[in-house]
Amino acid sequence: MGEPMRLRLLMALRTRELTVTELAAHQETSPANASKHLHVLVAAGLLQRRRKGLHVLYGIADPAVFPLCDSVCQSLRRALKERARPFGR
Mean pLDDT of the chain: 91
Q: Domains in the chain, ordered, with CATH?
A: 4-87 (1.10.10.10)
Question: Closest Cα to residue 16, out of 57, 55, 51, 44?
Answer: 57
Distance CA 76, CA 27 (A): 19
Overall pTM surpassing 0.85 (yes/no): no
In angstroms, the Cα distances linking 18 to 24, 27, 82 are 10, 12, 35
Give the span between the Cα atoms of 46 and 12, in whole angstroms.
13
pLDDT digits 0-9 by tens, 25-65: 999 999 999 999 999 999 999 999 999 999 999 999 988 88
Whole-angstrom Cα distance, residue 9 to residue 28? 11
